[in-house]
Structure 1
Amino acid sequence: MTAMAEFLGSAWWLIVSLGVLVSIHEYGHFWVARRCGVKVLRFSIGFGKPLWMRRGRDGTEYVIAAIPLGGYVKMLDENQLPESPSGHGTLSEQELEQSFNRKPVWKRIAIVAAGPVANLALCVALLWAMFVIGRPDYAPVVGQSERIAAEAGLQPGDTVLAVGDRATPTWSEVQMALVPAALDRADVTLRVADSEGRERSVDLPLDRLPEDFDERNAVGVIGLLPRHQQPPALVGQVQPEGAAWGVLAEGDLITAIDGVPIHSWSDIGPEVQKLGERGGTAMIEVERDDERLALEIQPRLTRSEDGRQFWALGVISPNGGRAPKDALLRYGPLQAVPAAFAEAGHQAGELFAMIGRAFTGRVSIENTVAGPITIARAANAFAGQGLAWYLSILAMLSLSLGILNLLPIPILDGGHLLYYLIELVKGSPVSERVMAAGQYVGLALIAGLMGLAFYNDIVNNLVP
């Protein structure tokens, strides 16, 4: 049931996200085309058979189609129509004036560029809304420090104030700043404050990362575990007929098992397994109502839903073992304006840098190109955390769509812009033969990119 709910949720949020992004992108083309005097024949959200269609007073057909994975704006163009909209074999004088191909090159550039620009503008607007609403997150506090992080001097309880020149008010910002540095194996300086508020600088020598480290767990490989991933060993519920029934109570804070200190919920499992394999009873120490108690307990062998056996006490943590979010990334309406532009600029820079890493082989391609399954699952997961989180991933997707469409690949907006720039330089349009060859090259590149995206989806999401 959970898997089905996740599937349906992912499909729904993928459709919603693509619907928003495509609508804004195509509306950018549509709006500028109309202002440049070009007749728009059809404005379609989706491809294939129309599910809904209405013809406006301007003669434009507004369509919602069956396949919700894109959209298009069809403009009057004498090079693409065998007949005029009025049914004649040639275009009338009025239709020629409204034809896209008859417009000056600067107007064609404006119309084509309007789609990606609309997505970039949407990205800024979404980030502004996210900042104003406020995105709940976790404080950037170190819970555990090992390997490179420990050797550099990071200690549990340190608050990461900045990574390089990027402020890190939440743990998400810490991750987003550390991952690119790890991929480049570039040493980075952290500004941190200890539990008493004393600030200092810590240099992380990321050039010491192994060559084949897990890029999706770069922060963990560095040796950093945030505090929120170490929730206190607080008992939220005692299962009837479990080993702890009648021994522990809701609200107990487990501090030690068989003399071994317990600092977080994740410490309980390994100690219980050791205790069960050794056999017999042991003392479990807890704090209850400001009292310290030592209670006798014996784990019981339990079988999970998949048939795996393990030793358990029969206790459940509050919130499923997750710590409550204790930070809020938020700005006032005016402060959010420059913050949104700055964040959009930063994310754009990181996107270009990631593309560069992929082409130079500094990052594996399967972690660079995401397909619809990955996007759908991410959209579902972000939406589950609240509106602000969903706006943040929608902004990132809008930015990606805008920038990727500007790449000089034929059949994309960037490819058409390249043709028009060449036309500006040489003083005449690119020949039909060159454009046809470009279309084939563009189709091959896009097909290869889509194939890679689907392959990455299968490997990262469907292969056990």
Structure 2
Amino acid sequence: MSEFLGSVFWLAVTLGVLVTFHEFGHYWVARRCGVRVLRFSIGFGKPIASFQRDGTQWAIGAIPLGGYVKFLDQREADDPRAVAGQPGEFYSKPPWQRIAIAAAGPVFNIVFAIAAFWAMFVIGRPDYQPVIGAPKGLAAEAGLVAGDRIVSVGGEKVDSMSAAMLAVTQAAARHRDTSVEVAGANGQIRAATLALSKLPPGAPDNAAVYEKIGINAAPLPAVIGLVDADTPAAKGGLKVGDRILGLNGHAIADSSQVSRLLGEEAAKNPQVSLLVERDGRQIPVAIAAERLTRDGQTRWMLGIAWQERARDALERFGPLAAVPAAFEETWKQTASMLGMIKSMIVGEASVKNLSSVISIAEVANASANEGLAWFLSFLAVISLSLGILNLLPIPILDGGHIVFTLAEWIKGRPVSERTLIAGQYVGLALLASLMGLAFYNDIARKLAQVFGS
């Protein structure tokens, strides 16, 4: 399956699972409160498939981007007076029940996140030890050295490279200096400070920003894991499993040296000489390097990919121990998301951190390829994001409905139709603006990757 088709497929799986769970939350609580549910739809638009059960039409809409639950509602009826007072009418229910129904969708998303984190911990999420390679930029300025193992970031203990880089990235998004504890080769722990306030404005997913931070994973051994067809490596006879020992007479210790030396030597003469180890024998190989463009960057390349390092860290708990771990992870992710929202509102973090379904699709595909535990982790984070987003007090979102119902409860009478309509227009405008900005960010990022800007 191609990357594009894989992204589309896993995005559909993600939205299908999470939207269904969210809407089922509304449906389940509504039925417990005696509200009549007319339709439960996954997707919008004309139903492409449906069936009737218990007075509810269960449907799949033609546009698979969301879903909704339609109640018997006098405000949406052609003849409100004929609907008002009917058994199961939504607005005939007391405010606390309507608040419970509105909150049920986001709450179910949060419950799903906890369950997914629990399953992830029980299965075990493989990762890499947080050992860094030769640091650059801010990491080098902070005094980090190759071989250091990151112990904590911002006071939070980390046990994997993914956790360490996530914590650094979150601090970088807010341009906050952050403390890092590392254990050196001798095991001695020392503290350092990453001066992330020096980063240029923008989102931390920009390659130049990552380079500025300068934390890199320990380099891979120079063992070939893939040889692309019709490239210098294929033409020169390199094979998967070959270990590169030398380049133009220079000894090679790891993959990072190959990339650096190839750029230097090929700039003088594209014809380079390699010494490779194959089946216990050392074999000289002559190759004509070419300037190729990959991921928006043009440089001297051979057309190979390195063999991946075996995962040497595993986040796993027993079924009982995974329960508090899942709650703790959910709390940490919630605090991080709320902090990021606050930082963007006050201007501390760039709105370039907003991402659309384009990024979600890419990450969905990547996490699915990493295995079930990683995909469950991704589902948990997206589900939690949906829950938090829907609880924001924005009209047309669940949080907006809760605010309007609370106002009705306090005032003792419903909010005026005019206020409701105005709120819906404001909410639509705000959401459309946020979605437009998110799509702009993702499209601009993709264009920058293509054209190398």
Q: Do both proteins adopt the same fold according to a TM-score greater than 0.5, normalized to the shorter chain?
A: yes
SS state at 1:143 partner: coil
Whole-angstrom CA distance in 1 between matches of 2:298 and 2:428: 53
Displacement of 1:194 in angstroms is 2.3
Corresponding residue of 2:340: 354
Matching residue of 2:192 = 203
Q: Deviations over 1:399-438 (max 9, x none)?
A: 1111111111111111110011112222222122211211
SS in 2 for 1:225: coil
- 1:460 is paired with a residue whose SS is helix
C-alpha change, 1:77 and 1:284, in structure 2 (3 Å) is closer
Q: Which stretches in structure 1 are left out of the alignment for 5+ residues?
A: none
Partner Cα distance (1:245, 1:92) in 2? 78
Q: Identify the match of residue 10 of structure 2 among 2, 13, 21.
A: 13
Q: SS of the counterpart of 1:67?
A: strand
Report the Cα offset of residue 52 of structure 1.
1.3
Q: Secondary structure at the match of 1:215?
A: coil
The structural deviation recorded for 1:311 is: 6.5
Greater CA drift, 204-213 or 108-117 = 204-213
From the CA coordinates, give the structure whose radius of gyration is larger.
1
Letter in 1 for 2:385: S
Give the superposition deviation at 1:456. 2.1
Aligned length: 444
Residues 252 and 63 of structure 1, relative CA distance in 2, 3 Å threshold: closer
1:155 corresponds in structure 2 to 145
User: Structure 2 vs 1, CA of residues 277 and 180 (structure 1 numbering), >3 Å: closer, same or farther?
Assistant: closer
Unaligned runs of 5+ in 2: none
Alignment match of 1:165 (pick from 155, 158, 165): 155
Give the 3 Å change call, closer, same or farther, for CA 213–195 of structure 1 in structure 2: farther
Which residue number corresponds to residue 234 of structure 1? 223
**Structure-2 separation of matches of 1:310 and 1:447:** 40
Aligned Cα RMSD in Å?
Answer: 3.2
What is the match of residue 41 of structure 1? 38
1:220 aligned to which of 190, 211, 235: 211
Q: Percent identity?
A: 46
Q: Does 1:81 align with 2:66?
A: no
Shift of 1:199: 3.1
Q: Which amino acid aligns with 2:221?
A: P
In the alignment, which residue of structure 1 is the partner of 2:82? 90
CA distance in 2 between counterparts of 1:277 and 1:266 reads 17
Listed as ranges, the matches of 1:360-399 within 5 Å are: 360-368=346-354, 370-399=355-384
Moved more, 132-141 or 19-28: 132-141
TM-score, normalized by length of structure 2? 0.87
Matched, 1:128 2:118: yes
Give the one of 387, 392, 395 matched to 1:410: 395
Residue of structure 2 equivalent to 1:51: 48
2:100 is aligned to: 110
> Are residues 1:23 and 2:42 paired?
no
Residues 137 and 211 of structure 2 are in contact (CA less than 8 Å); yes or no, is this contact kept in structure 1?
A: no
Q: Residue 267 of structure 1: CA displacement? A: 1.9
Confirm or deny: 8 A CA contact 1:183 1:363 kept in the other structure. yes
Distance change in 2, residues 1:55/1:253 (3 Å): closer
Normalising by structure 1, report the TM-score: 0.86
> What residue number does 2:319 align with?
333
What is the letter of the counterpart of residue 455 of structure 1?
Y
Contact persistence 1:244–1:297 (CA under 8 A): no
Decide whether aligned partners of structure 1 residues 19 and 255 sit closer, same or farther in structure 2, where only a CA change above 3 A counts: same
Deviation at 1:153, TM superposition (A): 2.5
In structure 2, relative to structure 1, the CA distance for the partners of 1:36 and 1:143 (3 Å cut) is: same
Moved more, 160-169 or 296-305: 296-305
Superposed displacement of residue 254, structure 1 = 3.3
User: Who is 1:461 aligned against?
Assistant: 446
Is the 2:246–2:275 Cα contact (8 Å) retained in structure 1?
A: yes
Distance in 2 separating the partners of 1:153 and 1:159 = 13
Kept in 2: contact 1:373–1:461 (CA 8 A): no
Structure 2 residue aligned with 1:62 = 58
Residues 19-58 of structure 1 show CA distances to partners (whole Å, capped at 9, x for unaligned) of 11110111000000000111111111111111111111x2
Give the Cα–Cα distance (whole angstroms) in 2 for the partners of residues 288 and 231 of structure 1.
18
Q: How far apart in 2 are the matches of 1:309 and 1:208?
A: 30
| Helix, strand or coil at the partner of 1:331 | coil
Q: Give the Cα separation in 2 of the matches to 1:211 and 1:60.
A: 54
Give me the whole-angstrom Cα distance separating, in 2, the residues matched to 1:251 and 1:92: 74
- Do the aligned residues in 1 keep the contact of 2:233 with 2:304 (CA within 8 Å)? no
